[in-house]
Amino acid sequence: MDNRLRTGIDVLDRKLGGGLPAGSVVALVAEPASQAELLLYELTATRGTLWLSLNRTASAVTESLEHTSAETGDPTVRYVSGEAPLENAGKLVSALPQSSNLIVDPLDVLERQEPDTRFRSFINDLQNHCSNTGSLAVLHCLKGRDVPPARDTTEHFADVVFDLRTDTTRDEVENRLAIPKFRGGRAPTDVIKLDLVEEVAIDTSRDIA
């Protein structure tokens, strides 16, 4: 497919046929205690990025980006607070320029807003704006102890689902990335074993079970 946008992770881009189709909305589903943020950091190196932070302050996110060993860009970080986070986030999304990245981290705060029709309206508007601008949105979705009821809606709306699975054994921490959904493309059938320490790398220490 033409007009692919790189993720910043070479092996992943190869498996996706050069990257993700412009206009895609991606749900990155990961444990709260995982190193999933490294994938977001490296995405910022690919093109201009708007980072909407729903939990951490903008200064905290910026400081993390400055201190990481991963390759990063210079994203615009906005802390979305207040009593109307859906409306505030929607205003920022509507100003997203052409061929940009949008990161929403974490989406959980917006998924919990009532009534759920407002969240569906937000996701629809976000999807339409990404399509119109040829941009790429990555929604960081936490799969912790209290998953929002709207998570099913998020994964249904998403064009692509990245499922990062983190397992801790006595000897090591293992991270495996599965892509069970790829709307408009071919979802890889294999699982990618990642080494998430200071940056995103492929773990070749053993075959993937």
As a whole number of angstroms, the distance between CA 47 and CA 194 comes to: 23
What does the pLDDT read at residue 54?
97
Cα distances from 57 to residues 16, 81, 105, 116, in angstroms, run: 33, 9, 11, 25
**Domain 22-202: CATH architecture, name and number where available:** 3-Layer(aba) Sandwich (3.40)
pLDDT, one tens digit for every residue, the chain (209 residues): 468 999 999 989 998 999 999 999 999 999 999 999 999 999 999 999 999 999 999 999 999 999 999 999 999 999 998 889 999 999 999 999 999 999 999 999 999 999 999 999 999 999 999 999 999 999 999 998 999 999 999 999 999 999 999 998 878 899 999 999 999 888 889 999 999 988 898 775 654 44
What does the pLDDT read at residue 83?
87
Domain extents for the chain?
22-202
